Every structure is written in structure tokens, then in C-alpha cells.
Chain A
Amino acid sequence: GAGVSQSPRYKVAKRGQDVALRCDPISGHVSLFWYQQALGQGPEFLTYFQNEAQLDKSGLPSDRFFAERPEGSVSTLKIQRTQQEDSAVYLCASSLGSGISNQPQHFGDGTRLSIL
């Protein structure tokens, strides 16, 4: 299909390891977002890209979290020295426009990260 694709779907890592989560947005979508969803809660904003520019990273919980989108399409969320509290579902979303166009964000099915 032509939706947002995330990989891997599941990731298990030991505490202290680094992980990388990938997002392929809908083709042509300018805006890309990362969210974190804890069990039983709504998604919480992490960071936002407009093309390759990271315009908002106010939601990243610590400097262990890093996101990039070097060519303005695929994005990677990296978590260094993982801790148990990082266990969550990481969702990626994309939208066609940017700014005040107020277009809906379309989500992938997420990566479920479990830190042992």
C-alpha cells in the first residue's frame, strides 16, 4: 500500500544497547512526526521535520534520543544507551503540507520497543 511504513515492527534490546527505528512516510509528504505511545495512553509528540529540517524537537525526553531525515524522505529515530523506561510503541506520521495548512497526519503501525 501507499501508507506510512515503519520497521522493525518489534524490537527487543538489552538495557544499554543502541537502537534505530525507521520510518518511510507517504511519498511526497513534506511533514514527518515521531510520537511515543505508552501502554494505555495516547501518543505523545517527540519531534517534527519539514522536509530535511528538524523544526521542533521539544518532545525528545533526553539527549539519548536523536532523529534525522537527511534527504527529506526516510527518517530514523535513534535511541542510545536504552533504558527500561524507553519501552513503548514509537509511531511515525506524515502529512502532505506544513505550516498552517492543518492537514491530517497519517500514522504507521509503529515499532514496539521492549528494553530488557
Chain B
Amino acid sequence: GESVGLHLPTLSVQEGDNSIINCAYSNSASDYFIWYKQESGKGPQFIIDIRSNMDKRQGQRVTVLLNKTVKHLSLQIAATQPGDSAVYFCAENIVKGGGNKLTFGTGTQLKVEL
């Protein structure tokens, strides 16, 4: 299928290693952040979220770190597996009109090498 990862920054890791994907967000007023995984030909899949009153949140094999001082997010994936290969997007929440309009970052292509 057609890749969503054309012209995106690429991170290559060995199977079993830990992966760290970084994201700089734009709006200091954003108060909610989400990481999505997108495989070719599919929609973004929710991985983990974090609110601005936290600086770390852990899920299954994933950890998100938030540094509001420098407007930086990171996604850590432990023991990376071939199934983790995809494009990863961070998204920030800009609340407007009572909704949760998301602004997405550029995206990072993660390639897991066997």
C-alpha cells in the first residue's frame, strides 16, 4: 500500500531495543497531548495520552514524557517489535468552541530491523 511515511524523519532500531521518538509542539496553551501510530493504508491508532498537569505517563511497553518548559514530548517504546513499525504522530489539543481540535506534528517513521 501507499506509504504515509514519505519524506518523514526516520528512526531505525534493532528488534528488542528501546525506541525514543521526539516531538516539539507549538502552543504553550495546549493542555492535552496524544501519541498516535499510523500504519500504511490505515487511520491513526491511539497509543497513549497525557494531560498538562503530568510530566510522565506509562502504558503497556510505552511511556510518554512531557516537558512543558521547552514544549517537548517524547514516546518511549520498550523492547521494540517488528509490529511497531509505522509512522508515529504526536498531537496537541487546542480547545476551541468547546471541542478538542487536534493539531498534529510532522510524524516520525519507525523502522524495526530484525
Contacts and interface: CB of A to CB of B under 8 A. Distances in A.
Interface of A: 4, 31, 33, 35, 37, 39-45, 48, 50, 55-56, 58-59, 91, 93, 95, 98-110
The residue in A42, A44, A50, A99 that gathers the most chain B C-beta atoms within 10 A of its C-beta is: A42
Contact of B100 (A37, A40, A103, A106): A103
Interface of B: 2, 4-8, 31-32, 34, 36, 41-46, 49, 51, 89, 91, 93, 95-107
A108 B42 CA distance: 8
B109 to A, nearest CB: 10
Given A56-B97, A106-B46, A42 B105 contact: yes
27 contacts: A33-B99, A33-B101, A37-B4, A40-B7, A43-B102, A44-B104, A45-B102, A48-B97, A55-B97, A55-B98, A56-B96, A56-B101, A95-B100, A98-B98, A98-B99, A99-B95, A99-B99, A101-B100, A102-B31, A102-B32, A102-B93, A107-B36, A107-B44, A107-B45, A109-B41, A109-B42, A109-B43
